[in-house]
Amino acid sequence: MKFEWKGVMPALTTKFTSADTLDLPLFEKNLRAQLAAGVEGIILGGTLGEASVLTTEEKETLIKFAIEKTEGRIPVILNIAEGSTRAALEQAALGKKWGVDGLMMLPPMRYVPDHRELVTYFRTVADSTDLPIMIYNNPVDYKTLVTLDAFEELTGCANITAVKESTRDVSNVTRMRNRFGNRYRIFCGVDTLTFEELAAGADGLVAGLVCAFPAETVALYKLIKAGRLKEALELYRWFLPLLELDIHVKLVQYIKLAEQQTGIGSEQVRAPRLPLIGEERKRILNIINTGIATRPDLGSTKERGLSI
């Protein structure tokens, strides 16, 4: 599928049963909620998807199931987060075999490469496939910064076409635009910077809380892109306490609990992660339930004139 990197692309969670197996019916329920809200792609195998504790067979099952259920309506993207170039090449080849429409790639895991090593890593994988690639730039959590100079060298890879901008520096959106124009599509990758980065010209969102609040996330994106900033800011201010759940080490547990409370997921996680307990669970539930209780009445995007 040929597609454009734009809009809201959820980094979907992986649903598990109480027996620690894939819960495909619940995954489908969430997926259908995302489609109904108007997301323009989904990303599987990311941090939120607990990819580090999934087997290759489970990844294959999720990918093929998602492709079957989306029926070509939106692209299905596979995240690659590997420690070696060989493993990254294997994942890219498997993604192609399974039928994914694109790849999102982190720098090498557990080792912080220098400039030459980083560029060579991305270029090697890009040269091995014809799938479009989004580079995930998150030096805060993964300790490797993909610099502007690295992106300059990677312009020679025609299929590296987008970036998930998670540097936490809002001005990096403008730096990328100033240097590369529209050569790279830019996605905000930090939920709490949604308003600021879209207003600065980002093309879309790779979002987390969209897993529990798809309609609100899509509406926020569309309001900002329509220039209706006053309405967008009102929605964003309601949303921010929830969006802050995305920037914690336990974002998986927090967002899964939010999915459970909104009826499109469960709090089942895979060990070593454990479900929340005690005061922490009570505190996070209070944030989530307060958000649900004060949830804005969006109406339909058609009624609001949001047809972007």
Span 136-145, mean pLDDT? 96
Q: What is the CATH number of domain 7-293?
A: 3.20.20.70
Mean pLDDT of all residues belonging to the chain: 96
Which band of pLDDT confidence, cut at 50, 70 and 90, is reported for residue 301?
very low
Question: Which residue in the block uniquely carries the two structure tokens 């220039």?
Answer: 227
Q: Where are the domains of the chain?
A: 7-293
Span 40-60, mean pLDDT? 97
Question: Which residue in the block uniquely carries the two structure tokens 């690639």?
Answer: 133
What's residue 299's pLDDT?
77
- Residue-wise pLDDT for 216-249, tens only, equals 999 999 999 999 999 999 999 999 999 999 999 9
Phi, psi of 137 (to 5 degrees): -105, 95
Question: Does residue 265 carry a pLDDT above 70?
Answer: yes
Q: Which amino acid is at 221?
A: Y
What's residue 305's pLDDT?
61
- Residue-wise pLDDT for 150-199, tens only, equals 999 999 999 999 999 999 999 999 999 999 999 999 999 999 999 999 99
What's residue 23's pLDDT?
98
Helix (H, G, I), strand (E, B) or coil at 61: helix
Question: Does residue 308 carry a pLDDT above 60?
Answer: no
Question: Does residue 100 carry a pLDDT above 60?
Answer: yes
42 CB-near residues (< 8 Å, 6+ apart): 9, 10, 12, 31, 34, 66, 70, 74, 75, 76, 77
Nearest to 256 by CA among 35, 14, 8, 10: 14
Which band of pLDDT confidence, cut at 50, 70 and 90, is reported for residue 303?
very low
Count of other CB atoms within 10 angstroms of residue 167: 19
Which band of pLDDT confidence, cut at 50, 70 and 90, is reported for residue 83?
very high
150 CB-near residues (< 8 Å, 6+ apart): 115, 118, 119, 122
Which band of pLDDT confidence, cut at 50, 70 and 90, is reported for residue 292?
very high
What's residue 1's pLDDT?
82
